[in-house]
Amino acid sequence: MRHRNLGLAIFICLAMLTTPCFGTEIKYSHKIDVEKMSFHWEVAGTVLHVKLTAKTTGWVGIGFNPSEAMQDANFILGYVKNGEAKVTDDYGTSYTKHQQDSKLGGQKNISNVVGKEENGMTEIRFTIPLNSGDAKDKALSIDTETVVLLAYGAGRDSFKARHKFRTTLKVNLKTGAFSK
């Protein structure tokens, strides 16, 4: 009996250690509010934890380091449908278009995806590597200025729906300082 209890305790400890931290409340040190949208983030070693919220029942999205407009940006978009968060890892293929990394020879590099939709607000949380090594992601440098695009859709749960709101910011991911 004692052996069985010990076995159970070891099993529970191992399960807790190996379970990915889905839903774990991350402390985000930085936050930017723009119109009806917020970008929260936390740099943790080699990864970036992100929380995006916006007044929409459609998608929320972030883009990093375009060469111009939306071109060459690393995009992550997410929406919540029937209580389930869906995210896509895209790349800006022109000033006004983006496509999934996986269709361009890259990969989806997003983990810890969680989302909720409440009272007309959508919240998506996820983690990305600062440098995934993927040809269709750009390495993020936390010490220098990062161009951050923030946008949200008008209400349709579709990554094809255009933005209702979008903006471009220059952000120091380490200090949280930003400008438009």
The first and second tokens of residue 57, run together, are: 């029942």
Largest CA distance in the chain: 67
Stretch that binds ligand HEM, among 67-75, 119-127, 138-146, 171-179 (CB under 6 A): 67-75
Determine the Cα–Cα distance for residues 61 and 124; give it in Å rounded to an integer.
9
Contact 62, 39 (CB under 8 A): yes
- Exactly one of 96, 142, 154, 177 binds ligand HEM (CB under 6 A); which one? 96
According to CB under 6 A, which residues from 42 to 61 bind ligand HEM?
61
Determine the Cα–Cα distance for residues 154 and 43; give it in Å rounded to an integer.
29
Stretch that binds ligand HEM, among 43-51, 109-117, 122-130, 163-171 (CB under 6 A): 163-171
- Exactly one of 40, 51, 138, 163 binds ligand HEM (CB under 6 A); which one? 163
The CB-of-176 to ligand HEM minimum distance in angstroms stands at 19
Determine the Cα–Cα distance for residues 3 and 1; give it in Å rounded to an integer.
5
Positions in the binding site for ligand HEM (CB under 6 A) = 61-63, 69-70, 75, 77, 96, 149-151, 159, 162-163, 166, 168
